Structure 1
Amino acid sequence: MVKSFFRLADTAWDALVKPIIFVHIPKTAGTSFRKGADTYFGRSKICQDYGRVSPLTSPLIKKWASGEMDSWSFYQDFNRQGYQFLTGHFHASKYIDIFDAGQMITFLRDPVNRIVSEYNHKVRHQGYKDSFESFYRSRENINRQLRLVGQGNWSQLGFIGLVESFEDSLLLLNKKFGINIPILRQNITSNEVVHSRGLTNEQLSELRTLNAKEYEFYNCARTQFDWRLHLARNGACFTRGAATALESGYLKGWAMPEGGTEAALLRVKHNGEVVAETKASEYNPIYKARGLGRRGFIGFSFDLTDIKDLSSIEVVVARTGQPLPILSSLTRLS
């Protein structure tokens, strides 16, 4: 618990200008969070998208999915009906170009623990009969968190919390958005068919191999979460962003400090030594379209053509030392 260093805002829901879009990854405490959102915003302000045939899905979503209205009309009706929160088991890409990416949030969980939990849920509540091995080898259950959030989208989301640090995550999220969603415990059971601690070494090895990309993503997102927590404790600003590509020797990306409008000052380190410095102020129409800040003037590029070994490159925020994730992966930079 880290309540001592947070002052949660008392902002009422009707003071919010933009809705929050929650990518509800199965078995990541999403039901608890959604119930807390119901309590805070009120059920009438919650729009749900759990698929066209689900009774939980709101009529507006079904109307849009059926093709009766285009995306712009959907967006207008969504706002006209006063929704403040959209949730469901959807891919982030479904809504990231309709609503600002910075308003999108999700929670992650250790991949193996999440897969075990979803298998147990399927067996208990949906009559799943196949083996655990059949379940986790199924294509739809491999790297599922990464696929729902999106390899190229996750750094753009406004907030990514962790199930393993749920209370701290909720405090950070409330602080960022100026809301006060309460901590509720829902959908918890101890009647497990398979338990993570009971997996064999062979099962664990196969699960980690199958979900290697997701583990890389999860660990990277966890590092960013730890930095957000560290900076919040010290009253400092977190910077969203990422190095996204290496093109013709130039490392490119974006960065936007939260709670301000100044361009982020960034440094590139090679083997721990600063080799370049620049501000993230270049224009990119994609960043503008997704509402990432400063009307799209948040891009950066570093000339790395003179550096032969790129395996030890880091991009950090000059003011805080916070590292930005390198989405093109260090293996491709080396």
Structure 2
Amino acid sequence: MKCLFFLHIPKTAGTSFRKGANTYFGESRVCQDYGKFSPLTSPLIKKWGSGEVDGWSFYQDFNKEGYQFFTGHFHASKYIDIFDVGQMITFLRDPVDRIVSEYNHKVRHQGYKDSFESFYRSRENINRQLRLIGQSNWSQLGFIGFVESFEDSLLLLNKKFGINIPILRQNIASNEVVHSRGLTNEQLSELRALNAKEYEFYNCARTQFDWRLHLARDSARFTRGAATAWENGCLRGWAISEEETEAALLRVKYNGEVVAETKASEYSPIYKARGLGRRGFVGFSFDLTDIKDLSSIEVVVARTGQPLPILPSLTRLS
């Protein structure tokens, strides 16, 4: 099988998942990038990170090592143009719960002394999950699971990739300094306002996960994709039905009524380079010149009714 790339967002059950992957694949088949100073980081990554090797040479050396699982704390953009994005996976967590958990971790293990307010107001901790994945990248990832549904996430992931990573419980926190249930209304309001973009992304990704779970229970296929551009009345995007080579049939609904239909079969060199599938023949376009309000449209998969996300940048143009 192709190597899986796990974007380990801090405090999203990633340690449990990584330990399970180590058990399944074997540590010699696992490559890690936790920063150049971390003892967990593999020698190949440290060599590449020093600037001595270009991306293509790194790709060749990586394949020679026979790795089957790659993980670490890194931005998706670091590797997304080197490896197939369809092999990239991650887990998300409610933004407030994740921030609280990371603060507690830094206080307990890294000697963090500043207040909780100082921590969550710092730029690096605002919309962090979204920034690590990338607003234009998240819909392309092969799989996004959720801490709040960890067992279902792992079941779906294993089924999708034909593997059997076990459920292990690691790095369980105790003696928390701050607890989500103990936050004041003022703190919660500020946290949600600061991380509004991440909550929009989180909820959109969660909707897709719930559809994936629903379709799996009905033995139906999930479709990855998104509407990504609105240009001169034309809505463009991409879609690919998992476990199927035929182009996905899509429909546009306006105020609940079907107004257009097409297959996601247009060629795009960008989608080909990203490894989205079907050799890049996954694009679609709808002529919606007469429709001015994008907030009233849906793009759905004809076979199942599954809605595709319309990325936030589009809704702001409507």
TM-score between both structures, scaled by the size of structure 1: 0.94
Asked if residue 108 in structure 1 is aligned to residue 63 in structure 2, the reply is: no
Given that residues 245 and 328 in structure 1 are in contact (C-alpha distance below 8 angstroms), is that contact kept between their aligned partners in structure 2? no
Give 1:333 shift: 4.2
**Residue in 2 that maps onto 1:303:** 287
Pairing partner for 1:197 from 170, 181, 184: 181
Question: What is the CA distance between 1:329 and its match in structure 2?
Answer: 4.6
From 216, 219, 243, the counterpart of 2:203: 219
1:311·1:333 contact (CA, 8 Å) conserved in 2? Answer: no
1:142-176 Cα distance to aligned partner (Å, 9 max, x none): 00000001000000000000000000000000000
Question: What is aligned with 2:222?
Answer: 238
CA distance in 2, matches of 1:109, 1:309: 32
Residue aligned with 1:288, SS:
helix
Amino acid at match of 1:184: L
**Deviation at 1:330?**
5.7
Q: Are the aligned partners of 1:246 and 1:328 in contact in 2 as well (CA < 8 Å)?
A: no
Give the CA deviation at 1:328. Answer: 4.0
Write the letter of the residue equivalent to 1:223: T
SS of 1:115's partner is: helix
Residue 158 of structure 2 corresponds to residue 159 of structure 1: no
- Work out the CA distance in 2 between the residues paired with 1:221 and 1:65: 31
- Rounded Cα–Cα distance in structure 1 between residues aligned with 2:314 and 2:61: 43
Match of 1:293 in 2: 277
1:73 maps to which of 47, 54, 57: 57
Name the count of aligned residue pairs.
318
Shift of 1:190: 2.2
Match of 1:43 among 15, 27, 30: 27
Measure how far apart 1:331 and its partner are: 3.2
SS state of the match for residue 311, structure 1? helix
Q: Is 1:29 the equivalent of 2:10?
A: no
Map of 1:118 onto structure 2: 102
Give 2:258's aligned amino acid.
V
Is contact 2:228–2:314 with CA below 8 Å preserved after alignment? no
Shift of 1:233: 0.1
1:8 is aligned to none
- Structure 1 residues 270 and 196 mapped into 2: Cα distance closer, same or farther (>3 Å)? same
Please tell me the root mean square deviation across aligned C-alpha atoms, in Å. Answer: 0.8
Deviation at 1:260, TM superposition (A): 1.1
> What's the counterpart of residue 157 of structure 2?
173
Matched, 1:142 2:126: yes
Asked if residue 210 in structure 1 is aligned to residue 183 in structure 2, the reply is: no
Other-structure match for 1:258: 242
1:83 aligns with 2:67: yes
The answer as to whether partners of 1:243 and 1:328 remain within 8 angstroms in 2 is no
Q: 2:229, 2:314 within 8 Å by CA — same for their partners in 1?
A: no
Ranges in structure 1 where 5+ consecutive residues have no aligned partner:
1-15
Q: In structure 1, how many angstroms separate the alpha carbons of the residues matched to 2:19 and 2:143?
A: 18
Shift of residue 191, structure 1, vs aligned partner:
1.0
Q: CA deviation at 1:76?
A: 1.0
- The percent of aligned pairs where both chains have the same amino acid is 88
Residue pair 1:311, 1:330 contacting (<8 A) in 2 also: no
The aligned counterpart of 1:316 is: 300
What amino acid maps onto 1:240 in structure 2? R
- CA distance change for structure 1 residues 265 and 133 in 2, over 3 Å: closer, same or farther? same
Q: Which residue of 1 aligns with 2:113?
A: 129
Could you tell me how far apart the structure 1 residues matched to 2:284 and 2:39 are?
45
Instruction: State the 1:332 CA deviation.
Output: 1.9
- Matched residue, 1:4: none
Quick check: 1:25–1:89 contact (8 Å CA) kept in 2? yes
Distance in 2 of aligned mates of 1:252 and 1:138: 36
Please say if residues 294 and 315 of structure 2, whose CA atoms lie closer than 8 Å, have aligned partners that are also in contact: no
Kept after mapping to 1: 8 A contact 2:226/2:239 = yes
> Is the 1:100–1:291 contact (alpha carbons within 8 Å) kept by the matching residues of 2?
yes
Aligned mates of 1:144, 1:309 — CA distance in 2? 30
Shift of 1:52: 0.8
Q: Distance in 2 between matches of 1:121 and 1:297?
A: 45
Gaps of 5+ in 2: none
